[in-house]
């Protein structure tokens, strides 16, 4: 129940922060009042494992191997110690590590100072734009170039960038690029990206596959600025439409989008924050905008992501996970569905729901769900 409330509040928090400058939102770490700690006390076994990992981190920090890329042995050892901590924290069940639990707090107290030397881990934890997973952090995951002011920080950055969840994010971007190219080759000319971030995948395809119209939606004006700047160098800026606001406004029908004017509509990195009710409502709303024969793609992590407990513990980052049947359920009530399928990235962490709309143009767009 507490987990569900936490998840809902993430969704509502995104809604609340939509109207204000992200850097001024009250959800960033500096301003958030500490919630009460709930849950069973930390076991002595868990305390022992936390201390053991702290010792291991200190040894690594002092070792010449810290200046080298993480070795398979170190990665295996770190992974095994983390799994031991999740087991001793009762975090291996479907609800993961409880937010604000003594186990989460102790993890951060004992180990935060090591992991947070990685800029990417610290950014996810600190949420400087008021929400987790902002576009600058996503761009860092895509660039995959470790940073850090300390040797241990760079080691941790490099280690985390190779964790399956972040590899999956890069795989998803590649898949989207190939889908956009394929749709363009088959005649698609208008694309809409919902919760676009910096839309770097579009910037990558636009020169070789010049979409005539691009529509970007995001609550973060900084993300839209980054996206339009990058796209504006490669296409006529007059053909880039932006819509700054929360998708909750869309769901409530308080904004107008032209029905059926998009050949491709996609959203990645957003549904992981939407409860089933909002996710279903948003899918139905977006579907109205898809042209006959068009393709909709929706991304979501599934609960089998081995990085899940780590992002909960070290980054205080909680997602709503969906398995393939949950993804397919999002398209279940839509009219005029020609076909729906779920693509899973090679790490197995992430799904993309691909839904093709039936219609006159369907015959030119048969490569997915055909």
Ligand X SMILES: C[S@@+](CC[C@H](N)C(=O)[O-])C[C@H]1O[C@@H](n2cnc3c(N)ncnc32)[C@H](O)[C@@H]1O
Considering only residues 263 to 302 of the shown chain, the ones binding ligand X according to CB under 6 A are 268-270, 273
- Can residue 312 be called a binding residue for ligand X (CB under 6 A)? no
Shorter beta-carbon distance to ligand X: residue 157 or 220: 220
- State which of positions 133-152 bind ligand X (CB under 6 A): 133-135, 138
215 binds ligand X (CB under 6 A): no
Work out whether 246 is an interface residue with ligand X (CB under 6 A): yes
Where does this chain touch ligand X (CB under 6 A) — which range of 39-47, 79-87, 129-137, 346-354? 129-137
Instruction: Kindly state whether residue 157 participates in binding ligand X, applying the rule CB under 6 A.
Output: no
Using CB under 6 A as the binding rule, whether residue 305 contacts ligand X is answered as no
**What's the closest the beta carbon of residue 139 comes to ligand X, in angstroms?**
8
By CB under 6 A, tell whether 220 contacts ligand X: yes
Query: Among 7, 15, 167, 289, which residue sits at the site for ligand X (rule: CB under 6 A)?
Result: 15
Please report whether residue 101 would count as binding ligand X according to CB under 6 A: no
State which of residues 25, 89, 104, 196 lies at the interface with ligand X (CB under 6 A): 196
Report in angstroms how near the CB of residue 246 gets to ligand X at its nearest. Answer: 4
Residue 165 binds to ligand X (criterion: CB under 6 A): no
User: Which pair of tokens denotes residue 39?
Assistant: 């849950």
The yes or no reply on residue 98 touching ligand X (CB under 6 A) is no
Stretch binding ligand X (CB under 6 A), from 84-92, 219-227, 235-243, 331-339: 219-227
Per CB under 6 A, contacts with ligand X among 73-92 are none
Q: Is 14 a binder of ligand X (CB under 6 A)?
A: yes
* Positions that interact with ligand X (CB under 6 A): 14-15, 133-135, 138, 195-197, 218-220, 223, 246-248, 268-270, 273
């Amino acid at each position: 129940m507490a987990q569900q409330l936490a998840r809902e509040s993430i969704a509502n928090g995104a809604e609340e922060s939509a109207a204000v400058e992200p850097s001024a939102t009250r959800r960033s770490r500096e301003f958030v009042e500490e919630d009460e700690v709930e849950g069973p006390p930390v076991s002595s076994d868990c305390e022992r494992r936390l201390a053991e990992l702290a010792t291991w981190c200190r040894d690594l920090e002092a070792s010449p191997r810290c200046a080298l890329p993480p070795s398979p042995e170190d990665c295996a050892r770190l992974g095994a110690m983390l799994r031991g901590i999740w087991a001793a924290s009762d975090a291996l069940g479907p609800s993961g590590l409880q937010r604000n639990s003594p186990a989460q707090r102790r993890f951060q107290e004992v180990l935060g100072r090591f992991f947070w030397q990685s800029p990417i881990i610290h950014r996810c934890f600190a949420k400087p734009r008021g929400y987790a997973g902002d576009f600058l952090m996503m761009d860092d995951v895509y660039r995959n170039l470790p940073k850090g002011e300390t040797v241990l920080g760079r080691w941790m950055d490099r280690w985390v960038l190779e964790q399956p969840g972040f590899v999956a994010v890069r795989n998803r971007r590649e898949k989207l690029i190939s889908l956009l190219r394929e749709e363009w080759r088959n005649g698609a000319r208008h694309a809409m990206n919902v919760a676009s971030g910096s839309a770097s995948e579009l910037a990558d395809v636009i020169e070789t596959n010049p979409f005539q119209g691009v529509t970007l939606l995001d609550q973060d004006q900084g993300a839209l600025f980054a996206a339009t700047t990058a796209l504006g160098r490669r296409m006529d800026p007059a053909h880039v439409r932006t819509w700054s606001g929360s998708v909750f406004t869309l769901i409530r029908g308080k904004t107008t989008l032209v029905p059926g004017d998009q050949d491709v509509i996609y959203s990645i990195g957003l549904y992981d924050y939407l409860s089933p009710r909002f996710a279903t409502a948003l899918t139905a709303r977006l579907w109205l905008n898809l042209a006959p024969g068009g393709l909709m793609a929706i991304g979501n992590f599934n609960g089998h992501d081995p990085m899940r407990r780590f992002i909960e513990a070290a980054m205080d980052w909680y997602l709503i996970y969906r398995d393939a049947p949950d993804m397919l359920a999002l398209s279940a009530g839509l009219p005029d569905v020609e076909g729906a399928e779920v693509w899973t990235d090679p790490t197995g962490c992430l799904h993309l729901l691909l839904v093709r709309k039936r219609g006159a143009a369907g015959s030119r767009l048969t490569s997915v769900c055909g």
